[in-house]
Each structure stands twice: as C-alpha cells, then as structure tokens.
Amino acid sequence: MKFYSSTDAKASESGDRLTSSLMIYFGSTLSQQTHEVLLYKFGDIVGTVGGSLGLFLGFSCLQAGKSLIQLIFNKFSTAT
C-alpha cells in the first residue's frame, strides 16, 4: 500500500484557497476473509470445569479420610 499526498495553493477571485488530495494505491486487489469459530460451547466449559473441580475435591476428600483414619488408628493404638 502506498500513500501519496499533495497540497496546492490556488488563488481565485474569492480569495486564497488551500486544497489537499490524498491518493492511496494498493499493491494487490486480493483480500483475506477470516471466520471465527468457537472451540468450546458453554455447556462444554461448564462440564470441563465441573469435572476438574470434582476430581480435585475427590482427592481432597480421600486425603481427609486417610488423615482421619490415621488419627483414629494412632489414638486407639496408644491407648492399649
């Protein structure tokens, strides 16, 4: 793309006039069209986030259960 501009001062009967022109030349007449497509729908995002939260919540519950069982086991093993 090339830009050319010129400014000419022309005298007329009504007074001085200042005119400007701008010419734009494109190197090619080809154009590119883009089309945007959503990768995830809203339901897919909710399912993915919910699945990840469920997975990590499950690991947390397993860890809490393991700690609780270990605490009970230690409490009864020292009592006898």
* Residue 16 exposure: Cα atoms within 13 Å on the Cβ side: 3
User: 8 has which bridge partners?
Assistant: 19
| Cβ atoms 4, 25 nearer than 8 A | yes
pTM, whole model, 2 decimals?
A: 0.41
- Which DSSP category does 23 fall into? E
- Write down the H helix ranges in 1-80: 42-79
Six-digit token string for 20: 């400007």
pLDDT recorded at residue 49: 95
Which tens digit of pLDDT belongs to each residue from 16-72? Answer: 667 777 888 877 778 888 988 888 889 999 999 999 999 999 999 999 999 999 999
